Structures are given as C-alpha cells and as structure tokens.
Chain A
Amino acid sequence: MSVDRWPAPSTTVVTGAAGWLGQALLHRLVADPARQRIRVLVRDNTEADAVKPVLDAAEARSQVVVGDIANPRTVDQLFDGVGADCDVLHTAGVIHPQRIQHLFDVNTTGTEHMVTAAAKAGVRRFTHVSSNSPFGTNPHPDDVFRADEPYHPYMAYGRSKMQGELAVFAAVEGGLDASIVRPPWFYGPFQPPRQTTFFRMVRNGKFPVIAGGHQRRSMVYVDNLVDGLLLAELTPQARGKGYWIADAKPYLVTEIVDTVGRALRDEGFSVKDGALRLPALAARVAEVADGLIQGTGRYQQQLHVLGEMGHTIACDIALARVELGYDPTVDLYEGMRRSIRWCVENGLEL
C-alpha cells in the first residue's frame, strides 16, 4: 500500500531530546542527511552533555536550546526563526515526577506553550507524543483499544497527558497541522537507569505477576516507536489524528516474563525461574494507595507500577498500519536482546 509522504523539512525541532525516546529519535535524525537543521530542546546542562556525543556527528546541522517548556520564554527561543518548512517532534514529558504538579506543568502547560508557538511560527507539522494513560485500562483482558476511544485517564499522569492531547486538538481546530502518536509501555536502548530494575526483577524471579498474569500489555520497542513517530510526522493524511504505535500485537504478562527471561539467558545471564505471584488484591491495594498518595501531591513509583500491573492495556495498531504504512519490525524477544546488549555496553548493571 502506498501512502503519500512529505520529504524531510529543512528544520526539525525536537523536545525531550535527552530522554529515552528523544535519544533514539535523535540518532535516527542525525543519520539522515536530508534533515538539514536539527534544533533540540534539553532541560539543563546535564542533558545538554548527554546529547552532545550524538549531535557532534551532526556538527553544523544541530542547535541546542536549554530550558523548560513550562517556561514560555524557552519555547519562544526554541521557535525563533524556524520558518514554515519546519516539523516539531514533541517528545518531552514527565512520567515519574517528584511532585504531581510537575506532571501538569510539563505535560499540559508545556504542551500548550508548544502548540501556541508552533501555530504562531506556522510550522508544517507538529507531532505530539501522547500515551495510553489518557485512556486508562481495558475493561477485560480480551479487550483491545480501538483507534478512537473515550478518555478515561489513569491517575494524574493520565489526566496531564489527556489535557495535553486536548490542547493539541484545540490547536488543530485553530489551524495548526498536528498529529498524535500514542505509545504504550516502551523498552529498548537509551533506557534510564531506573529501568534496569525491570531486568533485575526478572533475573531474580521477582517480577510481579498479578492473578495468574492473564492480563495483556501492549509494548513498543523504541525503534519501532521512532518509525511510527516519523511516519506520523511525514504523512499528510495524519492531520488531526491520533495513532497507537506499538509492537505488532499485545503480549500476555506471563509471555513478557518468559520472553525477557529467555533473552537474558541467551545474552549469557543467569535467570531464576518463576515470578513473584501476587493475588489481584495486591494490585488493587497498590492502586488505591497510589491514588491516595497522588491525592496529596506526591508520587511513589513502585506503588504506581504495581497498581497498573493488574490491568490489561492493549491497543490495536491497525489504523497506523493503514494510514501511515507503519509496520513494526522488531518483536519482544529481539528488542529485549538489543536492550540487554545496550545496557551491558553502557555499563548498566542488570
């Protein structure tokens, strides 16, 4: 199937460039000589140092802006002189905050600043990275989120991302050409150090499996996500639409644990059999506790993750396949092997 595509724009603006997705994206952009100018936003000097190695390869094509999208002055600076032949890849977002308010400052207010500035600059396409969280969890393990679903935000993060989406759609009504990608749980190279916990839990036979692990989870290998993101950027037809970008199919939780165990073994790690089998009640209790703590403005990551583990979060990528020509090539086993190798190469202890 052939899908109309634009050529790369003369200017590509990337927010969240030092993030997990941002770094994977940046490697791809830098490797493409058609991307004449790449302007990236990072939060602080530490992040600027993190992206320096890859941007060095792009030399004169790259520009770095340091600041926070919650600050409109930073955003104005980011858009200064970009011209109309410009695409924006808005990957900046906060998932695990220090304080709940931080979610809204970045995911909602920051996105509002971004779409306002992008509309003013008259950019060609603004592609926003959303999440599954504005849509909550599936009502039962066999259910799959269709292309278009009613909002049912999961906790504060889900609300902040929903409001981010609403800001994007409102801007589209106002004339901005924007598209949205919705990745579920992702994995792959450039993972933050906290993600090594995931591999360690599997290695130690301690990954929490709730109520038999019959839940299903959509996941996305970060390079598959970059594929989808760039397609949502370059496909004219994507205007005003949102797309699930995930691996080809959702995985059973038990399948995830088994596959990661197998990938670890095949990369030469010892893996204890089994998992931490917990009753459904454990996840419910964690979920309630998570909600209560978030209600006080604070955030506890382990509780949040455990609470969500009891649910199915599965999505259908059919629309992205049809309208964007998206075709995820890396599956869970291969993606996990690559992640493990990346961790080893980068000195992360598993």
Chain B
Amino acid sequence: MSGLTASMPRLDAEVLIIGSGAGGATTAALLAEAGIDVLIVEEGPWVDQGSVTPFSLEQMDQQYRAGGVTVALGLPSIAYTEGRCAGGGTEVNSGLYFRPPVDVIERWSAQHRIRDLDPDALSVIAAEIEQALTVSTVPGRTTPASEILRDGAAALGWQHNEIPRWMAYPPGGDAVTGKRQSMTRTFLPRAFAAGARMIVDCRVDRLHMAGGTGRSAAVTFADGSTGVITFRDVIVCGGAIQSPALLQRSGIHGYIGRTLAVHPTVKLSARFRDEVNVPDDVPVHQVKEFAPDLSFGGSASHPGLVALALTDHWKAFSKSVVQWRQIAIYYAAITSEGRGWVRAIPGLRDPLVTYRLSHRDRQLLRSGLARLTLLMLEADAEEVYPSFRGAPIVRNRADIASMQQAFAVSKASVMTVHLCSSVPMGELPGRSGADSFGRVHGTSNVFVNDASLLPTAPGVNPQATVMAIAIRNARHFISSRSTTDTRSTTDTRNIKGHHER
C-alpha cells in the first residue's frame, strides 16, 4: 500500500514529520505550502473514511493502537485509546469541536511562561480551522441518544449544548449523514498538493542525536525491514504517549513524559422504553453545568460495546443485552489533578504508562457518575447500569444512594481518550519539555507539535486546541526559518513518496 518500501532504505527530507494526526497533518500542510520539503511518516495504515463502520470494534482493530486496548497502570488502571492510522485520532474521535478556551490559554500563558501565546491570535486560527473542517451543527435531527442528554439536562435545569462537529452535512441532513472532515480528507491532501510526501506503515524507532542535534531517524517498515531517514529538522507529532516515548528512546531526557494529563471518565449504560441506540454515531450534546471540573456526554454504543459495558456486573446486567437497541452508553469526564508518567523501557516496543488519581479526582468521578445517573432518570431511563464491578441496577433516586455507597473508583472501568501534556511547552526552568514554540529544550532541531505540548488537559475535547497550537507553532517555524539559511533540498525530491489511493 505505501509508496515506499524497504527497497528504498535511505531517505532524506528537509523536515521529517513523525505522525499524521491533528498535529502532524496541519504542520505538514503549512510547511509544504511554504515551500519546505516535507516527509511524513505514519506508523499506522491508510484507511479511507467510510471503508470501516465508525465507532465499531472493527474500527478499533484497524485504526487504534493495539486494537484500542492500552492501559495506564495505577489504582485503578486507566484504559486509554490512541488512533494509529493516517490522520491519527481525527479519523476515529467524536468530531466534537471546541474553540481553545480563552481562560485556559491565559492560564497556560501565565503559569507556564509561554511567549506570545495570545488567545485572540488563537481565535483567528480557530476560525481558519472551522472553515477548513466545515465545523457545523446538525442541520436536521440529532440522534435519540443525543436528545436524551439534552432532555435530561433541561429537566434538571442544567446547562447543555449541541457541540458543533467537523462534519460536512447535506442540506437538512440528520446527524448520521455527516461526512467526517478528518485529516485524510483535509490537511493531508493539502500537504500532498503542496508536494509533501508520506510513508504509512512506518514506525520510527529512534532519532540519532549528535550532541543536541538530531541527524536521522531509524525506521521499521510493516514488513520488518529497516531504514534510515536523514533530515534537517524533525517534528515529532506522535501524540502524548508516543512522542515522549520516542524522545526518551532517542536519549533526550529533559522534562519529558512526566506530566501526562488526561480526562478520566466513568461510564454507564441506560435502557429506555424506545429504541435509542445508534450503532455508528455518538451524541452531539454535552452537559456543561459542572464544567470544567465535570462534563457529561455520549459514548459509542455499538452493540459490541454495549455488551462490553454490561460485563462490569454481568450477573445482574447480562439479561438486558438482548435489548441493546434500547440502550445507549454515556460518560462523565473530569479534569484531573492527577498526573501520569510515560516511560520508554529499553527492549520494549511500547512505553510504560502510569497514572495516579487524586482524592478530589475520585470524589469527582463518584459524584459525576451519580449526577449522570440522575440525568438519565430524569430523561425517563427505565434502568441504569453503572460501569463498575458489582454495581446495582438503578431504577429510582433511592437506588442512586445505594449506587454511591457501593462505588469505589478502584472497581470502576475508568478510561480516557484525551491524552496530553507529556512534553509541556513553556519557559519554566526544569518544568517545560519544549520551548514556547515546541522546540525540545536541550536540542537545536527536534520539535514536538501535538497534544503533548498542551500544559494541562484543557477540560474540553482538545483536537481544535491541538490544531490551533500546531498551526501557530508551524507558522513560527516557517518565519524563523526564512530568516536563517535556506539550504536547498536534497535529491530525494524525485521519490514519489506520497501515498497512492
């Protein structure tokens, strides 16, 4: 499938971009459009949008790392998922768009001493992103599972919104008619049109460093053969787990991988009288009454995932699985005080990830699950199945008290999708992994430009913030380069590298 194979073991690029998700694809497009010779390498495969059912187990198998089963160890351990395909997480996530929150940006700027991080400038970039990805609300009907969140919140007087998504809808189209404007449909084609090349199914094992300067990348292709890519600059965009792990494997040991931040979530399944399940879409409504500490939303509810959710107390819950059409899955997500570690272990392919929840985090998860349960009852759920071991079936308000009594975070299926902050940017001595524009401290030409840079988890779906910061940093990279030398590109330009579909 990929344009390059092991028969071309030695490659060169002016700028090597590792990873093709929200950070990598935007960076590649901007740099290529500025006339820079760009080579993107992506560990996962290219999967056309529409060739796999969205939010399905099949998708987890094809487009997620390790089939979607990756775990941050701790008490409790937290399951996390990472996209591992061309376009990264943008191909598989919920597509819900939030502008970079102004208060968060201001806090980052002040507390992490990030130079020239201006909320207004980011808003201008956000407007560009909104246009590029056709960010919009659903013109027609939202799904029944989504309306449950809306109606339950309205009954309680809790603030709720329909969150716009990067979807292209036909006029008047309902939620399920949207076409996801992921990176393989937007910024990657833009990068290719401007001459960028891309190799998929190609993993970067390590960067070869000489002093503080990266010289080349050692790579492994899908067939097991290896190669080397030389570059002038390298921009690591592998996401908050893979980026710090690669830096560590390359012997870069600054403030890297010590401050992983996530939005831990707990879940429940709720059964209604009507058929509410939509197997191939997720709700667009979110409840923001308790934000930023606590947010509620809807999860993928493919029948396989419903069955999986009911295994938390299979003995009590299993008889409901045949009614999966009446069941939808929802989550309560928190902003966490806890922190995680990403540590590359010599000889192991994947890094060791650990995460520790604080006392407050645990209280919030408990309270969040209970408040979400109350919302479900207000939306006329007949039964609620909280996702923790030994959970009772909740049918009324008195049952919520029993549920909270029985709850312990250690029994819960805690998971997360928003991973960030493992290479925080800023100028805090000894407390920043990269500088104010993503250059890894202690290096001259190794950059990070993905979710790893966000100093904390932003409290909202982070993709737009990741993209806005990436675009800001890419522009800074381009402008600071144009003032230094302009080394001519090497002779690898004639290699037709970009992926052929």
Contact = CB atoms under 8 A, between A and B. Distances in A.
Interface string B377-411: 01000000000000000000110110010000000
Contact of B374 (A140, A150, A162): A150
Nearest to B370: A150
A156 to B, nearest CB: 13
B373 interface: yes
Given A140-B360, A143-B290, A151 B401 contact: yes
A150 B404 contact: yes
Contacts of B400: 150-152
A139 interface: yes
B401 A139 contact: no
A134 B364 CA distance: 18
B397 A166 contact: yes
Main secondary structure of the interface of A (DSSP, over half): loop
Q: Which of A134, A138, A148 has the most chain B CB within a 10 Å cutoff?
A: A148
Given A139-B364, A139-B367, A146 B289 contact: yes
Interface residues of A, number: 19
Nearest to A319: B157
B400 to A, nearest CB: 4
Contact of A150 (B294, B360, B364, B397): B397
A149 interface: yes
B290 A149 contact: no
A139 B373 contact: no
Contacts of B367: 138-139, 143, 152
A162 B399 CA distance: 12
B69 interface: no
A140 B368 CA distance: 12
A148 B360 contact: no
Interface in A133-187: 134, 136, 138-140, 142-143, 146-153, 159, 162, 166
B373 A150 contact: yes
A166 B158 contact: no
B459 to A, nearest CB: 13
Interface in B281-314: 289-290, 293-294
B293 A152 contact: no
B156 interface: yes
Contacts of A153: 401
A136 B360 CA distance: 15
B366 interface: yes
Contact of A142 (B156, B289, B293): B293
Contacts of B293: 139-140, 142-143
Contacts of B294: 139
A312 to B, nearest CB: 10
Nearest to B363: A139
Contacts of A151: 397-398, 400-401, 404
A65 to B, nearest CB: 31
Interface in A100-157: 134, 136, 138-140, 142-143, 146-153
B375 to A, nearest CB: 9
Interface of A: 134, 136, 138-140, 142-143, 146-153, 159, 162, 166, 319
21 contacts: A138-B367, A139-B367, A139-B368, A143-B367, A146-B156, A147-B156, A147-B157, A149-B374, A150-B370, A150-B371, A150-B373, A150-B401, A151-B397, A151-B401, A152-B370, A152-B401, A153-B401, A162-B398, A162-B401, A166-B397, A319-B157
**4 tightest Cβ-Cβ pairs between the two chains A and B:** A139-B363, A139-B367, A151-B401, A150-B370
